[in-house]
């Protein structure tokens, strides 16, 4: 039975390690100018921690089977208390992740808007195909004297 509490503690520790990563992600997404390199680094850390959580959760389920236990472990007070802490941490991280998702969507929308402006102005030039200057929107005849 000692493997299950150990795994649950590891789950909680990993969730707690994820909190500052997601806080930093939120700070990056709220910044006026997003640092793409820093955001990528945070995304990699977050992905690694989520992979660890997935592994630990599968271990938890393997440890539960022979003991005929299932979360939330109401009949085992120590495990129940630990599970409640895990769930509280999970809920807080879920809310932060949803908020970060909204921030990311806003950032993507701003990037698309900026790209649209750049694409719209891409074909406009100050010089025509003959190398002579021309003004935009107003057709003018050039007269040589």
CA distance linking residue 52 with residue 12, whole number of Å: 11
Amino acid 108: pLDDT: 87
Check if the beta carbon of residue 21 is closer than 8 Å to that of residue 49: yes
Place of tokens 């006026």: 32
Distance, CA of 60 to chain centre: 26
Amino acid 79: pLDDT: 97
Closest CA to 7 of 84, 61, 74: 61
pTM for the whole thing?
Answer: 0.77
The rounded average pLDDT for each run of 10 residues, N- to C-terminus, in the chain (145 residues) is 92 98 96 90 98 98 96 96 98 98 90 80 64 59 60
Amino acid 111: pLDDT: 83
- For residue 64, is the peptide bond before it cis, meaning its omega torsion is within 30 degrees of 0? no
């Amino acid at each position: 039975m000692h493997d299950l509490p150990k795994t649950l503690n590891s789950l909680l520790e990993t969730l707690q390690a994820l909190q500052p990563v997601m806080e930093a992600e939120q700070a990056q997404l709220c910044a006026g100018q997003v640092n793409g390199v820093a955001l990528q680094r945070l995304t990699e850390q977050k992905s690694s921690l989520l992979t660890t959580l997935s592994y630990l959760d599968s271990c938890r389920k393997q440890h539960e089977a022979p003991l005929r236990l299932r979360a939330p472990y109401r009949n085992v007070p120590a495990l129940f208390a630990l599970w409640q802490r895990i769930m509280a941490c999970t809920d807080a991280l879920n809310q932060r992740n949803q908020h970060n998702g909204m921030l990311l969507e806003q950032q993507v929308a701003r990037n698309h808007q900026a790209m649209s402006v750049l694409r719209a102005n891409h074909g406009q030039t100050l010089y025509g195909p003959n190398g002579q200057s021309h003004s935009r929107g107003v057709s003018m005849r050039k007269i040589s004297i």
